[in-house]
Amino acid sequence: MTNLWWIILVAVAGLIGLYFLFSFLLHRRKAAKKAAKIDSNKYLSALGGAENVLSHELVGSRIVVSLKDYNKINRPLLEEAGVTGFIEKSDKLTLVIKTNAKAVYDALFVD
C-alpha cells in the first residue's frame, strides 16, 4: 500500500513539473514574438538618420556606432525603441540592448 502512495506522489510531482516546463516554454515563445517586432525607422531616426551613421558593429548585447553628428541623437526615442543604456566615448556611441541586440542590428544594418 505504501508503494502506491509513492507512485501517486511521483506522478503528481511529474505533472506539476510538466506544467511549469510548458508554461516556461510558452512564455519564452511569446517573448520571442514580441522581440521580433523591431521598428528600424525609429532607431535610425533617433540616430539622426541612416546618412548620419558612419560605421557600426555588434558586440554581444551592444551595438557600437560611429556618427557624423552626435548632436542629432534623440535619446528618449532610442529608449522608447528598446535601448536600455548608452556608453559615450570620444568617437563612438554604444547602445546597450539587453534582450535582442542581434535582431536589432540585423534589422538596422543587414537587411
- Same domain? For 24 and 47 the reply is no
The pLDDT value given to residue 7 = 92
Kindly write down the DSSP assignment for every residue of 49-86, as one continuous string.
-GGGEEEEEEETTEEEEEES-GGG--HHHHHHHT--EE
The mean pLDDT of 28-49, rounded to a whole number, is 78
- Same domain? For 98 and 46 the reply is yes
pLDDT, tens digit, 9 for 90 and up, residues 58-98: 998 899 999 998 899 999 999 888 899 988 887 899 999 88
pTM of the full structure? 0.65
For residue 25, what are the domain limits? 1-37
Q: Can you tell me the distance from the alpha carbon of 56 to that of 30, in angstroms, rounded to the nearest whole number?
A: 29
Q: Which three cell numbers stand for residue 60?
A: 554581444
Q: Can you tell me the distance from the alpha carbon of 56 to that of 3, in angstroms, rounded to the nearest whole number?
A: 64
The pLDDT value given to residue 59 = 92
- Same domain? For 58 and 71 the reply is yes
